[in-house]
Homo-oligomer: A and B are copies of this chain.
């Protein structure tokens, strides 16, 4: 097959700056969450933001960059505007080794931007203006591309807008029609809250591989008990990867459930992209015939790299890190 994974998501440029908790409180920001904001609020927060760095982001795009860094073959579908930040996004994902052919918007909203405030505890708080990314439409999902990938990987964030949601469902249907697998990340506990009923249907009917962290999976099943959520999820998806920060992950496939320890990290600098890169490692393993525990370890290793520096995409070649770790 031509591709290991086809990723579909909101194409976003991140603007990262350090901030303290007092800043989050002063601006009424929900710590640790991804909050959607309108253009005016984004501009207002940007004015208040300390000096930043711009880096390509977007959850599924970060995952695809990770898969490419591991040596996997990937393509990405997402919408930017034909503006400077759109050029940056396109350049970076292609330079990472991921095919990206979605036509940019020629008019309308600017390329999506996420203002990311990183607090001294390495936690990230995201304020996202979706801009052009929400114009991703069903016609942006080419049937031959989806058919050419072992797994189509979708981010839950797409569910936030109707057009992108339609594109999401088309991709899932095309993948299954071609005999391929569909993977989903629940993205964010607030995203799960916004779309719980749809996500429950989606997970039950369309998803083969599910990624979620503890907050997301317990929110989905409206329980505070992780094990209860795990049991529920196990009935719905053939493959599950549930991340638990420094406690590693719990992975499920073919009736087996395994706990995988987290990879060691010298110093956690910025947790932006941790879940995205876990998914990268796991999906690379899954599409390269690795066993379940090896997939979870590879996920943990990639997450450990990305949280050891500022920014949500890998800075070291992950294939070398994986080889050095014997993964």
The contact string, 1 if C-beta is below 8 Å from chain B, for chain A 87-112, is: 01001110110000000000000100
Residues of A within 8 A of B (CB): 18, 46-47, 49-56, 65, 83-85, 88, 91-93, 95-96, 110, 311, 313, 315
Complex contact B95–A51 (CB within 8 A): yes
Complex contact A96–B53 (CB within 8 A): no
Ordered nearest first, which 5 A-B pairs have the shortest CB separation?
Answer: A54-B54, A51-B92, A84-B84, A51-B95, A53-B55
Complex contact B84–A49 (CB within 8 A): no
B contact residues around A51 at 8 Å (CB): 56, 65, 91-93, 95-96, 313
Residue in A46, A47, A83, A88 with the greatest tally of chain B CB atoms within 10 Å = A88
**Copies per complex?**
2
The prevalent SS among residues of A at the interface is: mixed
Complex contact A91–B46 (CB within 8 A): yes
B contact residues around A92 at 8 Å (CB): 51-52
Q: State the CA gap A84–B95 with chains docked (Å).
A: 21
Identity of the chain B residue whose Cβ is nearest the Cβ of A15 in the assembled complex: B88
Are A49 and B85 CB-contacts (below 8 A) given A54-B55, A55-B54?
no
Identity of the chain B residue whose Cβ is nearest the Cβ of A43 in the assembled complex: B87
Q: State the CA gap A95–B54 with chains docked (Å).
A: 15
